[in-house]
């Protein structure tokens, strides 16, 4: 914790405000000489001291406020330096499915879960990517929760961007291999985890091939959270349903098969509490090297308090003037 001044040059204003004090003191000095020459009684000096002190206090406090003092607090955060987690959200159109027009969509539920899991893993650098027929990174692993949340809420969305193909089923889970092949993780990172939020309604893919890519050292550990059921539909604004979409009954088996091929775990939405998923991640990454970052600076401005205090001597000056 330290006190800084955002505009220290403004203290000159306080120095300039002392000029009337100098003039006042000079006038009092001349008046005293005249009283001595005329043999007059000297006035009570305590009143003059209060007057001068009040003027000096007003000048000092307002000059201090103009300099904009702040109390700077560096809130260090501890984060892992040997582990990174990617949060991959399926952003294909099927993730708009819900049980009713006014019910949360699969994507809404997945995004909420991602927020909660990230909160449980606040000390592990985490990135955000979206998945359709390709994997698109939106923010690389960071320990800044504000950045993570902003990207998740404002950047990631259904078909943002849209898939390159025009298939009814746009998701291609095989595109996840980009995590291993395209430098998504920092090269030095030993513990690599990906959490995939998806309905697992995908174009065909070779699970064994994906497994070989993910198991290649240093390896990427996988967690799949599957959303949706056979009753959900993609609703239109007028309350109808999109005729071209119907749920895939094989989706749960697809998620389990891909998890098995990659040596990971698959959860159904109902059993994937944030605490449980976070505990699984911590089992995968174990304990390791941490580092405290001191770049989270919080500033508390003191100028309002300085101005408020200036009203005390200023009030005395106004009161004395009206006597």
Strand arrangement, sheet containing 2-5: 2-5, 69-74, 297-301
CA distance 157 to 108: 9
Rounded to the nearest integer, the mean pLDDT of the chain is 86
pLDDT at 318 over 70: yes
Report cis status (omega within 30 of 0) of the bond before 161. yes
Least confident of 20-24, 79-83, 199-203, 238-242: 20-24
**SS3 at position 227:** coil
Q: What burial class does residue 170 get, using C-beta atoms within 10 Å of its C-beta: 0-12 exposed, 13-18 middle, 19+ buried?
A: buried
List all residues 6 or more positions away from 63 whose beta carbon is below 8 Å from its beta carbon: 10, 11, 12, 13, 14, 15, 17
CA distance 276 to 278: 5
pLDDT at 178 over 70: yes
- Using 50, 70 and 90 to split pLDDT, how confident is the model at 130? very high
User: What is each CA distance from 5 to 2, 51, 63, 69, 85, in whole angstroms?
Assistant: 10, 29, 12, 4, 39
pLDDT at 163 over 70: yes
Strand arrangement, sheet containing 265-268: 135-142, 126-131, 83-90, 191-198, 221-226, 265-268
Q: What's the pLDDT score for residue 323? A: 55
Q: What's the pLDDT score for residue 47? A: 63
Q: What's the pLDDT score for residue 313? A: 81
Q: Model-level pTM?
A: 0.69
Q: What's the pLDDT score for residue 24? A: 66
CA distance 294 to 302: 22
16 vs 223: which has the higher pLDDT: 223
Q: What's the pLDDT score for residue 66? A: 83
pLDDT at 18 over 80: no
42-91 pLDDT tens trace: 665 556 667 777 777 877 788 888 888 888 765 556 789 999 999 999 99
Work out the percent of the chain whose per-residue pLDDT is above 70.
85
Output b/e per residue, 111-148; b: 16+ Cβ within 10 A: bebbbebbebbeebbbbbbbbbbebbbbbbbbbbeeeb
85-109 pLDDT tens trace: 999 999 999 999 999 999 999 999 9
Least confident of 20-24, 54-58, 93-97, 250-254: 20-24
Angle at 270 between CA 267 and CA 276, to 5 degrees: 60
- Using 50, 70 and 90 to split pLDDT, how confident is the model at 33? confident
CA distance 87 to 212: 21
């Amino acid at each position: 914790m330290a006190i800084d001044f955002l505009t220290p040059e403004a203290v000159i204003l306080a120095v300039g405000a002392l000029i009337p004090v100098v003039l006042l003191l000079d006038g009092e000095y001349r008046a005293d000489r005249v009283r001595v020459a005329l043999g007059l009684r000297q006035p009570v000096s305590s009143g003059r001291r209060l007057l001068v002190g009040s003027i000096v206090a007003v000048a000092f406090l307002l000059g201090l406020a103009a300099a904009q003092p702040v109390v700077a607090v560096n809130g260090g955060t501890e984060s892992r330096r040997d582990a990174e987690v990617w949060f991959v959200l399926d952003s294909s159109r099927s993730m708009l499915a819900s049980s009713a027009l006014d019910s949360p969509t699969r994507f809404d539920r997945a995004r909420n879960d991602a927020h909660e899991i990230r909160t449980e893993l606040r000390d592990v650098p985490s990135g955000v990517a979206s998945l359709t027929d390709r994997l698109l990174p939106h923010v690389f692993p960071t320990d800044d929760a504000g950045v993570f949340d902003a990207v998740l809420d404002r950047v990631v969305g259904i078909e943002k961007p849209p898939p390159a193909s025009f298939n009814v089923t746009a998701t291609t889970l095989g595109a996840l291999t980009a995590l291993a092949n395209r430098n998504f993780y920092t090269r030095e990172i030993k513990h690599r985890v990906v959490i995939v939020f998806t309905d697992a309604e995908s174009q065909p893919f070779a699970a064994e091939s994906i497994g070989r890519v993910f198991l290649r050292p240093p390896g990427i550990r996988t967690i799949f959270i599957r959303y949706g059921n056979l009753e959900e539909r993609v609703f239109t604004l007028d309350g109808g349903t999109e005729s071209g979409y119907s749920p895939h009954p094989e989706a749960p088996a697809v998620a389990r098969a891909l998890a098995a091929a990659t040596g990971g775990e698959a959860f159904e939405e109902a059993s994937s509490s944030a605490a449980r998923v976070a505990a699984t991640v911590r089992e995968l990454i174990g304990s390791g090297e941490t580092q405290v970052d001191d770049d989270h600076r919080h500033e508390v401005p003191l100028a309002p308090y300085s101005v408020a205090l200036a009203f005390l001597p200023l009030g005395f000056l106004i009161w004395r003037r009206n006597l």
